[in-house]
Structure 1
Amino acid sequence: MDAYAYLYQCLGKVVSLKGHDLFLKVGSVPRARVGSTVVPLPFEAVTDKETRAIVETVLNPAQKSLLEQNRSVDFSFSLFEEMQRFRGNIFWQQNRYSVVIRMLWKDLPSFEELHIPLALRDIAVEQSGIILIGGTVGMGKTTTINAMINWMNAKSQRHILTIEDPIEYLHVDKGCVINQREIGQDANDFASALKYAVRQAPDVIMIGEMRDAESFKYALSASEVGRLVVSTIHAKSVVQIFDRVLGFFPQAQQDTILNHLSYHITCFAVEKLIVKKDGRTMVPAFEIMLGNGIVRELVREKEFAKIPQALRNAAHEGMQTMDDAIFKLWEDREISDREALSASEKPMELEKRMKGIEVQSQRTSILGA
């Protein structure tokens, strides 16, 4: 059986189970993540020959070189007649290849299909600024920003440039012209891709992940001259996004960076996937902060502890804390008590709210407090 036939067999089973990830490890049977559980699939144990065939078949020469150099590499590919897209990582363990593959949406999903709040749809057509979608690994950040790109493509006429590692969703030009560059294939690295991006006259730049000071400086510079920059970042909360960004820079530069950033925040959001009551499918909860006057002043004054209350006060603008989002999912009977409390950063407060005991429900003054 060739590599694609083997992947077709394994991934077909993952799809039928409504799973998310496929795990291939030499000497073990293939496994799939279904909901929050990793379950065995009804196939023979994976062989060294099969994982090597996947490496030879799925990776391009640049990716193979990176695998040998870094002992791990990201990749993406299409399979099945319906052109289902997958994202994967191949890495060495015990001197053999292991493979993890995540199933992506077959078609570019709509905001409704993804259960993304309308506030994020509305800011997708902003003309300039910085949009950062945070979350931990595997929480759907890339899917969310691609849904935003898809909405821009349908509702505006602009040039969108994406810089990704790897490309997970392929966009077809509609109202916009979209150029998608993959690191390792179309550019050597993020630094070189960003260096020449300004000469490519983009209106919107999507950077797959905000990784370092260089990429963030570019985002600031681009937003200052009227471009919209969209990216992802690893963070568990909106407040932690600031910690991550400032951590890119020496302490002596942090106040200057923060001051510049405050004027160009369009939206910072954090996404968390929670297992639904069926135990198999996932639903997202979003913490959302929009760049209004109060938020920008709090950022300039480094009053990050006051941001959660600012989000609660501005619920009418589409802002919300993570616990607000989790509570709404629980209230709508989408998720169980257990999953709600497990997902919360403040489970004791959330539990009181679930029992009808309001916690900090009143509007509280933020500035001048």
Structure 2
Amino acid sequence: MNAGVVDEQQLTRALNAGRNILLTDDYVETTDYHGATTFGRTPPVWKDFFQRNYAEKVRGSVLKSSHYTTDLLGNRFRCCMANSQKGWGISMRALPLKIPSLRDDLQLDWNIIRELTEGSGLTLFAGRMGSGKSTTMAASIGCLDPRASQIATVEDPIEVIYPSHSIIQREIGTHVENFAEAIRDCVRQSRTTIVVSEIRDSETANAALLAASTGHSVFATIHADNVFDIYTRMSALIDPRYERVLARNLRGLWWQHVVRFGTADRKPLPVYESLLVDYEARNIFEKGTTALPMLASVMERQKRKNMTEIAMGHVSQRRATREEMAEFIHRRNRIAED
């Protein structure tokens, strides 16, 4: 939903409530938590912010983008300043000012997720970009006892600032050079719980998996289209020698998306599916990707709903129409099941 061009006062209010913002010297576009988009000429405060960031980050290079976090008007933002055919712009995403609540903020149940976090092993939170997977992982970490769990996070950038002094938080490019090095440091720092903001390359995937295989509790996000696809994506990233290590050390898989309706009158709705990696699931993983459809029966035995069941639940309770949930009712990109 587009609110269209508005006056400066309305645009300023929209920016203060913005979740995703595209900022340039003359034009700004903001999309709020509900998916409503507003745009117009850049207000003076935001114009000054853009010009200061341009002076600090560009420094004569027209090809190099900059990734960083910053504060503005009481909010924290993850920023990407990059050049394009239309000139320089900053893509900004608002970061949580507190640890999100699974129930109150995300409409999710900790009791469904908790089993996926217990003991040692690798738990992966997945979805596409903007699906809320990082927020759900952060909220789940917030449910753990930081003293008992001995938590360290490796992030690019740091999104949620945990208040506990016992939690070590490190940002790539600020405190450490790369994810793999930071994960290895966590092991040396006697951290029992390691949180990786995103697995996006082989080196990070291997380091996270090996940490999980040595008795650590590892959490990470990864891009995937459904809960079955999580294993496929992770398997494609790791060294082929570690295929069996992956099957034996996966602990839990969580996939999600958030449906937004473009209006404050309707709350965004989560659609999700999950799998506890038990003995039967490990045996299926060890058989390879052709056996993945068999995981459907494992989910059913565990009484874990798939995305279709969650989507149809929203429809039956009249929170959404079948058309609005059609993408999930038809089980998008699902591996064919027998």
Identify the residue that residue 30 of structure 2 maps to in structure 1: 32
Cα deviation for residue 179 of structure 1 reads 0.4
Mapped partners of 1:180, 1:11: distance in 2: 33
Equivalent residue for 2:323, pick from 327, 338, 346: 338
Identify the residue that residue 99 of structure 2 maps to in structure 1: 108
Identify the residue that residue 166 of structure 1 maps to in structure 2: 157
Identify the residue that residue 287 of structure 1 maps to in structure 2: 273
Instruction: Answer yes or no: is 1:76 the counterpart of 2:69.
Output: yes
Identify the residue that residue 5 of structure 1 maps to in structure 2: none
Instruction: Answer yes or no: is 1:227 the counterpart of 2:216.
Output: yes
CA separation of 1:342/1:121 partners in 2, compared to 1, >3 Å: closer, same or farther? closer
Instruction: Answer yes or no: is 1:198 the counterpart of 2:199.
Output: no
Q: What CA RMSD, in Å, does the superposition of the two structures yield over aligned residues? A: 3.2
Query: 1:26–1:45: 8 Å Cα contact kept in structure 2?
Result: no
The structure with higher relative contact order (CA 8 Å, sep 6+) is 2
Identify the residue that residue 283 of structure 2 maps to in structure 1: 297
Cα deviation for residue 216 of structure 1 reads 1.9
CA separation of 1:172/1:49 partners in 2, compared to 1, >3 Å: closer, same or farther? closer
Q: Deviations over 1:316-346 (max 9, x none)?
A: xxx2211122122222332232211134444
Identify the residue that residue 324 of structure 1 maps to in structure 2: 309
Query: 2:26–2:42: 8 Å Cα contact kept in structure 1?
Result: no
Mapped partners of 1:164, 1:109: distance in 2: 17
Mapped partners of 2:326, 2:188: distance in 1: 48
Query: 2:122–2:252: 8 Å Cα contact kept in structure 1?
Result: yes
Give the letter for the 1:23 counterpart. L
Within 5 Å, give how 1:123-202 maps onto structure 2.
123=115, 126-153=118-145, 157-173=148-164, 177-202=166-191
Cα deviation for residue 242 of structure 1 reads 1.8
Query: 1:262–1:299: 8 Å Cα contact kept in structure 2?
Result: yes
Cα deviation for residue 95 of structure 1 reads 6.9
User: Which structure 1 residue ranges, 5 or more long, are not aligned?
Assistant: 1-7, 350-365
TM-score under structure 1 normalisation?
0.76
Equivalent residue for 1:271, pick from 256, 273, 284: 256
Higher helix share: 1
Q: Calculate percent identity across the aligned residue pairs.
A: 22
Equivalent residue for 1:237, pick from 226, 230, 236: 226
CA separation of 1:340/1:131 partners in 2, compared to 1, >3 Å: closer, same or farther? same
Give the letter for the 1:74 counterpart. H
Mapped partners of 2:125, 2:320: distance in 1: 23
CA separation of 1:282/1:104 partners in 2, compared to 1, >3 Å: closer, same or farther? farther
Cα deviation for residue 54 of structure 1 reads 2.7
Cα deviation for residue 141 of structure 1 reads 1.3
Mapped partners of 2:250, 2:153: distance in 1: 20
Query: 1:166–1:183: 8 Å Cα contact kept in structure 2?
Result: yes
Count residues with an aligned counterpart: 322
Q: 1:157 is paired with a residue of what secondary structure?
A: helix
Mapped partners of 2:309, 2:76: distance in 1: 33
Give the letter for the 1:33 counterpart. T
Mapped partners of 2:195, 2:45: distance in 1: 37
CA separation of 1:277/1:163 partners in 2, compared to 1, >3 Å: closer, same or farther? closer
Cα deviation for residue 265 of structure 1 reads 1.7
Identify the residue that residue 21 of structure 1 maps to in structure 2: 20
Mapped partners of 1:13, 1:68: distance in 2: 32
Mapped partners of 1:152, 1:47: distance in 2: 38
Mapped partners of 1:238, 1:165: distance in 2: 24
Within 5 Å, give how 1:85-100 maps onto structure 2.
85-94=76-85, 96-100=87-91
Q: Deviations over 1:125-172 (max 9, x none)?
A: 523111100111111111111111111136x52311111000011001
Q: 1:288 is paired with a residue of what secondary structure?
A: strand
Q: 1:168 is paired with a residue of what secondary structure?
A: coil
Give the letter for the 2:31 counterpart. R
